[in-house]
Structures are given as C-alpha cells and as structure tokens.
Structure 1
Amino acid sequence: MLEPNGPLPPEIYWRRRALAIGVAVVALVLVVWLIVSLTSSDDPDATATGASATLTPTPTTTYRPDASSNPGPDAQASGGGGGGGAAAGSTTTTTTASGSSTPAAPGQCSDQSLAVKASPDQPTYQAGQEPKFTIVVTNIGTSACSRDLGSGLQQVLVYTLENQRLWSNIDCFPATAADVRNLAPGQQAPFTVTWSATTSEPGCTAPRNPVGAGAYSVVGQLGELRSSPETFNIA
C-alpha cells in the first residue's frame, strides 16, 4: 500500500506525498496557534488592567515664608495690581502639560507622570485677609518615582481675570533647599502657601502694593506643568 503505483516514476509520487504531509503539518500548527491565541484573549488575568491607584495624600508641607509666617508684605512673595469686580466661585481645575517637556532621568518623575492642582482655601476673602492656597502634586503614573518639589521649583501665581500677572511666591524668595519626594502611584504631596494680597515682580525690586477688591485666579506650576486656574474673590 505504501509503494506508489502509476505510470510516473516512483520519486514523483513520493514528492507529492511529502508535500501533502508538509501542508497538513503547517495547517495543524496554524490551528493550534489560533486556539492558543483565542484562549489567551479570554483569560481575565491576561486582559485585566490594574485597578486605579487610590490617591494617598501625605501630610501637608508648609515651609515657604508665605505659609509658615506672616511677617508682612516685604517678607512674602506677591504680584501686581487690582482685579475686576465680578463675583467668582471656586472652580474645578485640570492639569495641562507643555508639549516640550524635558525627558526625565531614570527614576525621576516626568512631567507626564505628574498632575498639579492649586486651590484657594475659601472662595471669598475680606479686605485685609491673606488668601491661603493649597498646591497638590500627584503621581498619576503607574510606577513610583522621585521629584524635587522644593518651593523654589514650585510656582504659585495669582492673576486678574484679564490674565494680568499679579504675584508669584518665588518673586521675592527664589532660592530654597531641595525637597526630593518619592511618590508611589496615586500618592499626593500637598503644600500650602499664604499670599499677603500685595503685588510683586520677579526680583522683588518693584513696590509691592495691596490689591483691590475683585475676582482673581490662582495657578500652580511645577517645571513645565501648569494647573488650570481656580478663581476666588476679595471683597
């Protein structure tokens, strides 16, 4: 039965049999591969993504001169002139990132792995009150990383609603010690800053004048990351 019979030479029939066997083996391999692929795609362990990391706040740090003491306008970082008079409530902010961020060193949090949010501690302040802001830096990445969060690298800026820059916390206090933080995925690092409600400019050389009643916005910045503005009022 195995010996080929026919008008052609035997080697022709053997070649045909070898070709048929080869095709059958390839088809079998493809079928096995397809079954394994379908089985893997149905495996919940293979397709399930990690659960969202729970945001874990760390104790709030208040080491800037504006937050730790209130020695007066000349000892606090502030920014430029009065604002509009429209009432404005606190708004929800989102974090935006610049497209030209510098690549981070190994183990360092990149701008893309962080979110920054700045919020006033109340929607309206009376004349003479010093507004306080909370800045929260969150690791929104999927792995732990470290970042220098020293106050000299974090800016808190106040603007009028017409986008006129009034104050920054580093105008009068630009140099501070490093504060390297190791942040797990979802971990938050909050900071507080107090504003003397006076104006300032980079270098702190211009006169610092009290701002008037009106609506203002606060923005947080870390490196090339800037938070969305949140509004507040001075009555």
Structure 2
Amino acid sequence: MLEPNGPLPPEIYWRRRALAIGAAVVVLALIVWIVLSIGGGDDDSESTAAAATSELTESSEPPATSESADPSETSNAGSSSTTTSASSTTAANPSKDCADQSLALKVTPDQPQYKAGEEPGFTIAITNIGTNACERDLGSGLQQVLVYSLDGANRLWSNVDCFPSSEPEVRTLEPGGQARFTVKWSAKTSAPGCTAPREAVAPGGYTVVGQLGSLKSSPEPFNIA
C-alpha cells in the first residue's frame, strides 16, 4: 500500500483509509445481506405456495363414504346393508308356519236353506289374524268341512271321507290376508275311509263346521227342506 503523502501527519491519512475501508466493508456486507434476504424470501414464498397447493389438492378429494366400501361387503350376509336387505326379505318370505292361534277359521253355507235333491255348497275362509306374514299348508287333505246333526251329536259327513287328497297347497298369508275354498256336498252320509254305505239325509236342520288341523270353526246352521 502506498505511503500517505501530504502536509498532514501520516497517522491522519491512515485513519482516513481505515474508515473508508470499514465503510466499504459495511456497504458490501449490507448489499450481500439484501441479496440473500431477497433470495431467501423467494424460497420461503415458493415453499408457502407449494404447501398451500398441497393442502388444496388434498382437501379437494371427496371423503370416503359407505358407498365406497369394498363391494364384497355389500354382498356378504354379515354387512349392515345386507342385514337391512335380509330383514325385508324375511318379511316378504316368511320362514315359519302359521300357528293355530294366529288363524281364524269360518265356514258358511252358501244359502240358509236347500231343497231336497240339491247339493249344499259351503265356503271355508282362513284368515291370518296375527301381526306377521306366515305360511300354512292348506291342502284339501288338511282342511275339512264336516256336517253334523243340528244338535252336533252325530257326525254325518266330511269332504275327506271318500275323496282324500294328500297334495300339499302351501299358502302365504299376510296379516289380515285370507284364503277361501268352496266345497259341495251330495247330501249323503259318509264315514272315515268311506267304509260305510252312503245314504241320503232326511229333510231337517243341520250344522256345518270347518276344521284345519286342530283348529275348528263355530258351527253354522242350515236346512234341507
């Protein structure tokens, strides 16, 4: 470095040079700091923008719902949706027989009086008086129409004595639902197995009773003139 040259003492010139160099260093440091600050700010802004973009992308995806579950769960019997489906199916397709106490049985003559030689007709109605749908075999071999004397002491005829039928006829009865059947009687006597001679009944009063298993209807009167 050149020696200071001037009218003043050399110490003065050295101090001025030191101050100038120090000022230059401070200015340079300030410039470097500003440049680094600007560069770092850009990085922070980019990082902030990237984070915001990432959050927006993640939140834009719809949340998972029960419909997006594994399809096999929909078809498995153990799933809740299938449970609901199974209940409906059970209501529409009952799995138990109609108990006697859930049925009402009624038989009525088609008319209150018949002429001699006419074949009386009867209608038997089976009604589900329970609160649930149920099944019952109503085959003609199980449902009977029986004719008794007016006092009920003598059994005169049954539709299954001479014409038994073993063919099942399973019916589904909804609550309040009814099954109806009609039967004709030749106005002749009969015995179980059709083992006794059949004779025409005399004019007079009679009663008819319906039976399904152990369930019986109330007797209904009619006349043959």
Same fold flag (TM > 0.5): yes
Q: TM-score, normalised by structure 2?
A: 0.57
**What per-residue deviation string (whole Å, max 9, x for no partner) do you get for residues 190-225 of structure 1?**
000000000000010110000010000000000111
Gaps of 5+ in 2: 1-93
Tell me what 2:87 maps to. none
Query: Which of 121, 125, 129 is the matching residue for 2:118?
Result: 129
SS of residue matched to 1:216: strand
Instruction: Specify which of 148, 157, 162 is matched with residue 137 of structure 2.
Output: 148
CA contact (8 A) 2:119 2:186 kept: yes
State the 1:161 CA deviation.
Answer: 1.3
**Structure with the largest fraction of helix:** 2
Q: How does 1:76-225 map to 2 (within 5 A)?
A: 107-163=96-152, 164-225=154-215
User: Any idea what the Cα deviations from partners look like across 1:136-167, whole Å, max 9, x if unmatched?
Assistant: 00000000000000000001000001321000
Count residues with an aligned counterpart: 131
Q: 1:106: how far off? A: 5.1
| Percent identity of paired positions between Structure 1 and Structure 2 | 68
Is 161-170 or 187-196 further displaced after alignment? 161-170
Alpha carbons 2:123, 2:182 under 8 Å: kept: yes
The equivalent of 1:92 in structure 2 is: none
Please list every run of 5 or more consecutive structure 1 residues that lacks an aligned counterpart in the other structure: 1-104
Q: Which of structures 1 and 2 has the bigger CA Rg?
A: 2
Q: Secondary structure at the match of 2:130?
A: coil
- Measured in 2, the distance between the counterparts of 1:205 and 1:221 equals 21
Letter in 1 for 2:181: F
Instruction: Measure, in 2, the Cα distance between the counterparts of 1:107 and 1:207.
Output: 41
Q: Secondary structure at the match of 1:203?
A: helix
Matching residue's letter, 2:140? S
Q: Which amino acid aligns with 1:136?
A: A
Which structure has more RCO (C-alpha within 8 Å, separation ≥ 6)? 1
Q: Distance in 2 between matches of 1:230 and 1:184?
A: 26
Cα distance in 1 between the residues matched to 2:135 and 2:95: 10
Which whole-Å deviations, capped at 9, do the CAs of 1:33-83 have from their partners, x for residues lacking one?
Answer: xxxxxxxxxxxxxxxxxxxxxxxxxxxxxxxxxxxxxxxxxxxxxxxxxxx
By how many angstroms is 1:175 displaced? 2.6
The 8 Å contact of residues 95 and 135 in structure 2, kept in 1 or not, is answered as: no
